[in-house]
Structure 1
């Protein structure tokens, strides 16, 4: 990050590599409840985009229905946006990313929008490996409709108006891994640094990157015994590793002791640095990732970090062999076969 004087601004204002200030990545004023974890996530999306020097005009924001799906209005106001119907955002993202491969797609969903009405669309989006940063703002409750249980609510959880939840929770990270997702992470809205580093890595990934972020609902689900609350998250978060992200245009410097860092290189040359903490954990081992999630759920542990990584799968545009030039930029003469071609096809049918 360099500091220069931008015309019309005060001396020493920080701008990124494309000459934009962080304020250029803002959106509208949030109407969510004061203290909502979703606002913290929005703030880190803006910071990550600013620090990576992303062009707002080359980003498309996508969402469904719910408190989480309102939040794209509060960041990247200069970017494209599409608010889909409940649970159908993955289908819209599929169309947008196939039509224009140059766009960076950021989808924001919730535990209900993803795990309930949208679970089928979510699983097939992951299966196809759509190039999309898919953020789940997970609070275990339907906040927009006044506090019903969602598919990720803890078994035995009590809510004032909904009573006691008798059903086991769905682990959306596990669902993503089983469906073939190559980038699966979990974080906590109160851990701004970890959220920001995971977002940067996800924004540089070529396929579907799922980040399940526990984002407490301060109005309906903030009891200390809820695994989706601020008190529980602060007291029980157990990071797998310390995460660093080095963009491809910066010199890669490792300042940790030998043997303590695992480097994961992305296709564009950027590097995720995973510094081991208490666990000797390999995020490229799929079986180990599923075992970790099973154990964490059984023990009510709040494991955060990069849970699974696999960049070997081609993205859906690559599978479809789409040209580098976006379909959205093709002219009529590129799309309409000439008369001679149509005549040749017809003659072959006679």
Structure 2
């Protein structure tokens, strides 16, 4: 039996500045688990790119291995796409970006793909400040290999089999800020009102934009005792600068007040506590961002929203002084100017 997405759309759907409807930014029918938060992330990416009027063929979407890295299949099917080796997406996107700086780059990864096998690659793409939007769909487990605890799982968090995680979890937003990311945010897959503007801002940012998105695994990590379940996140979220689980039987949607912690009860009875940053929060203060993240962690809350941004940031091309013209469009004469020019360059380093 095959399942195909209907191509029928209302003839009066809104069109963006390019004259395109949102359908031009969609992909095939998702085969992820019903209610997977990754599909909610994909829906927000589709809407963000449509509302920003980005031509689909000017977008490059790249990923590694995992449920999250499979998700790009289901959005932006008219964009360039590359599914890389496990944990190696940053190398691929760096090469592509250096060759063609004119594309809009979206990297989709997961907590295993980024914080375990891909940790070294992640660290260097951040410090290089590559001009891209890097998204991590963070669920605290390895879903493709049946639910082992990932490196971002909090200490004491229970696996589906009831085993407590004995190790401290890696906090990717803290790492991103410390490594030099110039746009850092955290959100929840079930809070589209917060997530959508963050994605739009990240796509518009000049430099490395990173968004850590808590996206509960409905199959292996949405139970009582997990600190990455829908209930727990909704119960422990706190928001920074203001800018899901969608179960089979009923969709869970968040609509919380700014700066107020909200407890969200998931279908399995577990609680998620989310809190957004308040109006007094200054996202341009790096030290305040790090302190606020740590304070929220000590209070068993998940701080969401825009956590840090440097509006005057330079991207890798500006730092290295590369040509304004994409390398892939340069002719042989420009790429191989001859030995005389090479000698002048070598002399400048002597």
User: TM-score under structure 1 normalisation?
Assistant: 0.83
Cα 1:159–1:39 shift into 2, 3 Å: same
Offset of residue 39 of structure 1: 0.3
Decide whether the 8 Å contact of 1:181 with 1:210 is kept in 2: yes
Q: Which runs of 5+ in 1 are unaligned?
A: 1-7, 244-275
Decide whether the 8 Å contact of 2:160 with 2:221 is kept in 1: no
Offset of residue 340 of structure 1: 6.3
Decide whether the 8 Å contact of 2:242 with 2:278 is kept in 1: no
Cα RMSD after superposing both structures: 2.2
**SS of alignment partner, residue 284 of structure 1:** coil
Decide whether the 8 Å contact of 1:58 with 1:103 is kept in 2: yes
* 1:223-263 alpha-carbon deviations (Å, 9 max, x no partner): 233221111223332223431xxxxxxxxxxxxxxxxxxxx
* 1:126-158 alpha-carbon deviations (Å, 9 max, x no partner): 101001100000000101110001111121122
Cα 1:277–1:82 shift into 2, 3 Å: closer
Considering fraction of residues, name the structure with more strand: 1
Q: How does 1:124-163 map to 2 (within 5 A)?
A: 124-161=124-161, 163=163
Offset of residue 335 of structure 1: 1.4
Q: Partner residue of 2:222?
A: 222
User: TM-score under structure 2 normalisation?
Assistant: 0.83
Range that drifts further, 173-182 or 290-299: 290-299
Distance in 1 (CA, whole Å) between partners of 2:210 and 2:342 is 44
**SS of alignment partner, residue 73 of structure 1:** helix
Q: Which runs of 5+ in 2 are unaligned?
A: 1-7, 244-275
Q: Partner residue of 1:175?
A: 175
Q: Which runs of 4+ in 1 moved over 6 A?
A: 342-346
Range that drifts further, 161-170 or 204-213: 161-170
Q: Partner residue of 1:3?
A: none
Cα 1:66–1:11 shift into 2, 3 Å: closer
Offset of residue 174 of structure 1: 0.2
Distance in 1 (CA, whole Å) between partners of 2:60 and 2:111 is 21
**SS of alignment partner, residue 303 of structure 1:** strand
The answer to whether residue 30 in structure 2 is matched with residue 30 in structure 1 is yes
Offset of residue 336 of structure 1: 2.1
Distance in 2 (CA, whole Å) between partners of 1:56 and 1:213 is 23
**SS of alignment partner, residue 14 of structure 1:** coil
Distance in 2 (CA, whole Å) between partners of 1:53 and 1:234 is 32
**SS of alignment partner, residue 306 of structure 1:** strand
Q: Partner residue of 2:102?
A: 102
Q: Partner residue of 1:297?
A: 297
Cα 1:341–1:239 shift into 2, 3 Å: closer
Q: Partner residue of 1:54?
A: 54
Offset of residue 308 of structure 1: 0.7
Range that drifts further, 135-144 or 231-240: 231-240
Cα 1:158–1:55 shift into 2, 3 Å: same
Offset of residue 31 of structure 1: 1.0
Q: Partner residue of 2:69?
A: 69
**SS of alignment partner, residue 145 of structure 2:** coil
Q: Partner residue of 1:112?
A: 112
Decide whether the 8 Å contact of 2:241 with 2:282 is kept in 1: no
Distance in 2 (CA, whole Å) between partners of 1:345 and 1:132 is 30
